[in-house]
Amino acid sequence: MPFLDHGSYRIRYELEGPAGAPTYVLVNGLTQYAELWAAYRDALVARHFRVATFDLLGQGGSDKPALFINQDDQVTALRLLIDELGDGPVFLSGISFGGLIALRYAIAHGKRLSGLVPMSCFAELSPQLLLIGNALRTGLILGGTGYLQDLLLPMNLSDQWLTPLLDKLDSVKRQGWLVNDVYALQNLMESFLDFQPLTPQLSSISVPTMILNGEFDFLTPRPLHETLRVEIPDSALVIIPKAYHAFTLERGALTADLLARFAENVLAGHWQGNKAVWIAPEDPGGELTPFPAGYDHLRAIPVQRVSA
């Protein structure tokens, strides 16, 4: 198991796939760990990509700074990993907290990227997200990692995914509970205490960017993704039907297919973001369809868009 050194801390990472191939770098969400990308590794390697996964500082097999974790340190860890990859094309994707770190990297080191895919992501803390984040942190403090998982599971996953697992949720939660420590998760959450919105810097992201947002994402709803779409010049927003915040867990095959198609389009010179809004297919390989013209993609009911 290879490690990168960042000061006195070590960052665990894994590389899979042919060395000369375009690389996808996948960044974990807050309570995740690198093994959760296993299906993506298989799917993307089969599509001739190299895949890099890692645990952020404070997660899984990486070191867990005891008192403070700065988001800049996470970006540095990501830079160290991408520096390991050589000169080939690099596509960067991250979910939720990992998407935020990917955005930060793209703002600071965007020239190194060929493409960016923020998923269930945000560039600023809306009042709702701020208050939910505070409540989740309180839940972690009062009830431990297990209680935080209890809050996140129904918030971020669909009934279809949860129904067959209702009588074995303990086993679903166990690995995340084992590899994550309360103090480290708390440090990750508290890295938002001095958070400044990234929105004013988003326009500096010049790489092709595909923004993925679950149709029913409660934690980071559509307006947070809309900020990314409006501000990032070469972007498109893709809505994943019937999906929640953690769609990377329950719609892995579809998401991996979208990631591969995005990178293939970019590499072939076919990508045109145009700040368009698309609806993803239900299944891998299906066609993306444009969001119906004239209708407001920020609404949950078919309301015609008010012209500016």
Partner 1 sequence: MSGFFGPLDSEGRVPPNQQTRVAAFLISAHGALARQFAFTLPLKLDTAWQTELNAQFYREAEIVSLLMRATAWVPDLALGYMVVSWETAWLPAPIEGIADRSLAGAIHLATLAHAVHAGIRPAALLPVNAKADDPFVMALRRIEFESGRLLQGQILFLKGPELMPLRDAVSAALEKRHAGVRKLWREALESVGITFTNDAER
Residues that bind partner 1 (CB under 8 A): 1, 8, 61, 65-68, 141-142, 144, 171, 174-175, 177-179, 181-183, 186, 190
Residues sharing a CB contact under 8 Å with residue 125, sequence separation 6 or more, in sequence order: 133, 192, 195, 197
Q: Determine the Cα angle at 299 with ends 294 and 300, to 5°.
A: 115
Distance of closest approach, residue 186 Cβ to partner 1, in angstroms: 7
Q: Considering the complex, state which of residue 12 and residue 47 has its C-beta at the smaller distance from partner 1.
A: 12
Report d(CA 154, CA 151) in Å as an integer: 6
Q: Considering the complex, state which of residue 1 and residue 268 has its C-beta at the smaller distance from partner 1.
A: 1
Distance of closest approach, residue 5 Cβ to partner 1, in angstroms: 15
Distance of closest approach, residue 125 Cβ to partner 1, in angstroms: 20
What sign has the CA pseudo-torsion 227, 41, 264, 156?
A: negative
Distance of closest approach, residue 60 Cβ to partner 1, in angstroms: 9
Inter-helix orientation angle 97-109/71-83, to 10°: 70
Phi-psi domain of 120 (left: phi exceeds 0; alpha: psi -120 through 50; beta: other): left
Q: Considering the complex, state which of residue 102 and residue 188 has its C-beta at the smaller distance from partner 1.
A: 188
Distance of closest approach, residue 53 Cβ to partner 1, in angstroms: 15
Q: Considering the complex, state which of residue 120 and residue 187 has its C-beta at the smaller distance from partner 1.
A: 187
Q: Considering the complex, state which of residue 141 and residue 155 has its C-beta at the smaller distance from partner 1.
A: 141
Distance of closest approach, residue 4 Cβ to partner 1, in angstroms: 16
Tell me if 104 sits within 8 A of 199, measured CB to CB. no
* Pick from 70, 81, 83, 75: nearest CA to 102: 75
Q: Considering the complex, state which of residue 147 and residue 216 has its C-beta at the smaller distance from partner 1.
A: 147
Q: Which residues pair with 165 in a beta bridge?
A: none
Which of helix, strand or coil describes residue 128? helix
